[in-house]
Chain A
Amino acid sequence: DSGVTQTPKHLITATGQRVTLRCSPRSGDLSVYWYQQSLDQGLQFLIQYYNGEERAKGNILERFSAQQFPDLHSELNLSSLELGDSALYFCASSVAERNTQYFGPGTRLTVL
């Protein structure tokens, strides 16, 4: 158990809908990262927050957004969902930037 928690574990929804994924980092970690993992693309970095501020963006679609709250938990919002958004979404956290990242158990999103 890495200490990073993610909810929900599974999410099944329809195309065009909007969902919110939640992540609680390890105690004391200030940096949160979101990744998407699909069979063909592997693990792809989406976005990073550090102590409430956005720090880096990867290949994140405009339909996706995220934020980190004062208590350091983070939410990833996915809207206008498409079939191709079906994937595992992982959150990772680290004590500070550039430290080892510890991953949560993931949320499996299925878009029908």
Chain B
Amino acid sequence: EDQVTQSPEALRLQEGESSSLNCSYTVSGLRGLFWYRQDPGKGPEFLFTLYSAGEEKEKERLKATLTKKESFLHITAPKPEDSATYLCAVQDPGYSTLTFGKGTMLLVSP
């Protein structure tokens, strides 16, 4: 059974204070690793898909990286509008469904 663990559960940063969120996974074979952002009461918003170890993707202040056992979401010089819950999900080769972690709740203070 696929498992996804995200850490920390919650993270509080000052504006401009860079940090990283972790997503570790155990799957029989990884087809893709997905990062989503979710604001309270809203649907998850797609950020990135990573397919193979060593792959990196960037979008504004966010950068996602992937190794064979974990993925990191690096946040550089965050702003208050980056405050949200960040969800990681894995997709194994046999299925199209996603297994989600419980998320990291990020709060960026001005």
* Residues of A participating in the B interface, judged by any CB pair closer than 8 Å: 2, 4, 31, 33, 42-45, 48, 55-56, 58, 88, 90, 92, 94, 97-106, 108
| 19 extra A-B contacts, CB within 8 A, seeds A90-B44, A92-B43, A101-B46 | A2-B45, A33-B97, A42-B102, A42-B103, A43-B44, A43-B100, A45-B98, A48-B97, A90-B43, A98-B32, A98-B91, A98-B96, A100-B49, A102-B46, A103-B36, A103-B43, A103-B44, A103-B46, A106-B41
B87 at the interface (CB under 8 A from A): yes
Q: Across the interface, do A48 and B96 meet the contact criterion of CB distance under 8 Å?
A: yes
Q: Given A98-B91, A100-B49, is A108 in contact with B41 using a C-beta cutoff of 8 Å?
A: yes
B59 at the interface (CB under 8 A from A): no
Q: B34 contacts which chain A residues (CB < 8 A)? A: 100-101
Q: Across the interface, do B44 and A31 meet the contact criterion of CB distance under 8 Å?
A: no
**How far is it, in angstroms, between the C-alpha of A104 and the C-alpha of B32 when the chains are bound?**
21
Q: B31 contacts which chain A residues (CB < 8 A)? A: 98
> Closest residue to A101 on the B side, CB-wise?
B98
Q: Across the interface, do B100 and A42 meet the contact criterion of CB distance under 8 Å?
A: yes
Q: A31 contacts which chain B residues (CB < 8 A)? A: 96
B99 at the interface (CB under 8 A from A): yes
